[in-house]
Amino acid sequence: MKIGVIGYSTTEFGELWDRSPRDLSREVFLNSLKGARLEAAKIEALYVGNMLAGILGNQANLASFYAEELGIAVPSVRVEAACASGSVALHNAVQSVKAGLYKTVMVLGIEKMTDHTQDEVIAGLMAAGSDEERASGITFAGLYALIAQTYMKKYGISEEDLAEIPVKNHFHGSLNPKAQFRNLITVEQVMKSARISDPLKLLDCSPISDGASAVIISSDSKLLAKSKGVTIVASQLGTDSVGLCGREDLTTLKSAVSASKKAYAEASIKAHEVAVAEVHDCFSIAEAIALEDLSFSKKGMGVLDVKNGKVTLGSSGVIINPSGGLKACGHPVGATGIKQVIEIAMQLEGVAGKRQVKNATIGLTHNVGGSGAVAGVHILRI
Amino acid sequence: MKIGVIGYSTTEFGELWDRSPRDLSREVFLNSLKGARLEAAKIEALYVGNMLAGILGNQANLASFYAEELGIAVPSVRVEAACASGSVALHNAVQSVKAGLYKTVMVLGIEKMTDHTQDEVIAGLMAAGSDEERASGITFAGLYALIAQTYMKKYGISEEDLAEIPVKNHFHGSLNPKAQFRNLITVEQVMKSARISDPLKLLDCSPISDGASAVIISSDSKLLAKSKGVTIVASQLGTDSVGLCGREDLTTLKSAVSASKKAYAEASIKAHEVAVAEVHDCFSIAEAIALEDLSFSKKGMGVLDVKNGKVTLGSSGVIINPSGGLKACGHPVGATGIKQVIEIAMQLEGVAGKRQVKNATIGLTHNVGGSGAVAGVHILRI
């Protein structure tokens, strides 16, 4: 069965203090319908990816909440998988279409984080950690710092090397009008930025963001015929232990390795055929590990491949995070997995403007929850 | 495609202060595998239905959490739909099997509520309400009291009539060794019990409970051949407004009407063919409305059909809530939708002991979230 991405829309990501979740959801709902030249009545079901509304805002039952807000009284499902909530929601939406239950489904990823204090948000995000991690007082920056320390020692990587990752992502973000940060940064600036958790500095960390993203997927042959032709050819999930203490090796995520292997098999492609990918760079080190887990880089070469410009716009290799990634585009956690899919759809359709990857026909998204407990991988083609 | 319920297990429901969520999940994991004579390695994915772990316990990413706890590193999805989390999780699991992604999947419904103060739990449950409802200070007992007032005035139903519903459910619960309450009650006792929100009294309200329930579903022909033959022939969701103020009529839930209509069509059966049903009697009035929404009773006859013994064990009509329902069996919210499916599977297999419905070949479950914002309906056959 062919499942197309027939419409999409994302809000600008950032500190959107003057906008409510309802408002953000309406923007992407209306714009994605408009882009697809579709009436709202064609949407047969709604899948919602969100992590924090219950914890921070005491709002559960979000699927019905947004179905009501958007004026579509259709079957609705809320999926929560920490920072992978968006891709896991899409995954379930894809299965519902493949199962033949629905033809046309909307998937909404949404998160409103900046209305809360930093302490509240950090505590909320730690809901994705393990008991042991929370009890220790560690934060996600601390967890990824442990991963970074292990990786850098193992492969002889310097902090300056690692800093090349956010520098590249800010360059990409500078070309994305929806990105939270559009300023160029240098390795020197990363090195001088506040030390958050050794060796990670402020500019190694993705921000706290607000945003909403929506895609409309369909198996309806008439709607596919009038779409631009992007299809989802693989949708897979992987799982690892919640806490780092349960892992044999901190320099890889089993969740991402298993999900991507299954996704490549489902799409009948090899990693080297992917022209563009959006990966989960919640911290600089996460992008390096993603490159290796997805088989884009050899083991230990993730950071160096970025440093050597192999994945930067203009390179002939796979282009990584043309949107600016979580670091520069922003990371409203429930929306991220959907924004990634939208970025890839735009790249494949050739409508990505200044950040357009040339001749891209296959793209991939990699969305991680917690410190790797869950990963969702999607592959798109045109 | 045939999808069978090849294994199941539920813990006792109740105030399980000496047991952790991990412990409860292990019990139903191991017992459902044992019942299905299945190795854990056969489980290809895990779906988890839970409402409150994030809000009450600051634990998100529950799918990975339980996959790790149960020692199965398989793709895992957590679904939240307030008190319908269990059935909506099962619905998504069914779609993943129908889509051909997996053959054998476990669905875990779990909730631990009694470790928290009453105020915390009531505030947590109100996360399923609307902004207006929360701001007004109303609770779910208050919302269902408004529904009851409207219904009773419209159809001339007395409080004594309504009290027949929990009396019947306690009778059924007295025959269920897993039920939280196994004591018989009388109409007089209901009438004398503490007034919670007019006209609902303490014995009209389902309790706060702990519990876990798991089912294993499969499309694997070998596993189906060695199973007892119960299959899921319909799985549908419906949606209504989150708040009561968005409804034209308080005496029906659009979510349940639309889900059940689609479910009857999917199963190619009529309502009168259902021999046994587990419905969402979070408050007495909810069971009466469920009977009408599911087309078991005529409009306005839900309460009277219960009063007249038409749905009590031993009657020739559809038997409602042989488990004791939410009122007597208990209501650990994420587990309820799965426990309902287990009760129906046991009834169809003829292993329900003292509460066995005779010659039941078709059963139905009806699981509601919030005051009806979401409903999940499943139909099972043997």
Q: What CATH architecture applies to the domain A4-117+208-226?
A: 3-Layer(aba) Sandwich (3.40)
pLDDT, residue A267, reads 98
pLDDT of residue A161: 98
For chain B, percent helix, then strand, then coil, each to nearest 5?
45, 20, 35
Three-class SS of residue B350?
coil
pLDDT single digits (tens) A131-158: 999 999 999 999 999 999 999 999 999 9
ipTM, 2 decimals?
0.97
Are B311 and B320 spatial neighbours (Cβ–Cβ below 8 Å)? yes
Cβ of A134 within 8 Å of Cβ of B58? The answer is yes
Q: Is A334 on the interface with B (CB under 8 A)?
A: no
Residue A155, Cβ density class (10 Å: 0-12 exposed, 13-18 middle, ≥19 buried): middle
Q: What is the pTM of this model?
A: 0.97
Enter the DSSP assignment of A122.
H
The Cα–Cα gap between B74 and A255 comes to 9
DSSP E strand boundaries for A226-336 = 231-239, 276-278, 319-320
Task: Specify the pLDDT at position B145.
Answer: 98
* Nearest one of A219, A259, A270, A261 to A88, comparing CA atoms: A259
Give residue-wise pLDDT tens across range B53-93: 999 988 999 999 999 999 999 999 999 999 999 999 999 99
Q: Beta strand A276-278 with A319-320: parallel, antiparallel or unpaired?
A: parallel
Q: Is A174 exposed, middle or buried (0-12, 13-18, 19+ CB in 10 A)?
A: middle
What is the mean predicted confidence (pLDDT) over A220-224? 97
A290-328 per-position pLDDT tens digit:
999 999 999 999 999 999 999 999 999 999 999 999 999
Q: What distance in Å separates the CA atoms of residue B342 and residue A21, rounded to the nearest whole number?
A: 38
Domain A138-205+232-381: give its CATH superfamily.
Thiolase/Chalcone synthase (3.40.47.10)
- Kindly list the domain boundaries of chain B, sorted by start residue: 4-117+208-226, 139-205+232-381
Where is pLDDT greater, at B122 or B146?
B146
Q: How confident is the model at residue B209 (pLDDT cuts 50, 70, 90)?
A: very high
Gap between the Cα atoms of B91 and B375, Å rounded: 11
Looking at chain B, which residue has its C-alpha nearest residue A56?
A: B55
Decide if A60 and B80 are in contact by the 8 Å CB cutoff: yes
Cβ count within 10 A of residue B57: 18
- Tokens in use for B204? 């009209």
The closest of A256, A315, A335, A364 to A86, measured between CA atoms, is A335
Chain B hits for A68, CB-CB cut-off 8 Å, are: 239, 241-242, 246, 373
Residues B303 and B284: their CA atoms lie apart, in Å, by: 9
Question: Cβ contacts (< 8 Å) between A92 and chain B: which residues?
Answer: 77, 79, 92, 95-96
Residue A15 φ/ψ, nearest 5 degrees: -90, 90
pLDDT band with cut points at 50, 70 and 90 for residue A20? very high
Give the nearest partner residue to B370 out of A55, A64, A259, using CB atoms.
A64
Identify the active-site residue in B91, B172, B331, B366: B331
If one counts every other C-beta atom within 10 angstroms of the C-beta of residue B19, the result is 18
Distances (CA, A) of A297 to A264, A287, B375: 15, 11, 47
DSSP string of B129-193, one letter each residue: S-HHHHHHT--HHHHHHHHHHHHHHHHT--HHHHHHHHHHHHHHHTT-TT-S------HHHHHHS
CATH 3.30.1370.140 fits B139-205+232-381, yes or no: no
Query: Could you write out the DSSP letters of every residue in A319-374?
Result: EE-TT-HHHHH---HHHHHHHHHHHHHHHHHT--GGGPPTT--EEEEEEEETTTTE
Asked if A43 contacts A67 with a C-beta cutoff of 8 angstroms, the reply is: no
pLDDT (tens digit, 9 = 90+) per residue, B304-336? 999 999 999 999 999 999 999 999 999 999 999
Identify each DSSP E strand in chain B by its residue range.
4-10, 45-49, 76-80, 104-111, 195-197, 200-201, 211-218, 231-239, 276-278, 319-320, 362-369, 374-381
Fold: same for A4-117+208-226 and A138-205+232-381: yes
Contacts of A124 in chain B (CB under 8 A): 58
pLDDT at residue B152, rounded to an integer:
98
What mean pLDDT is predicted for residues A170-196? 98
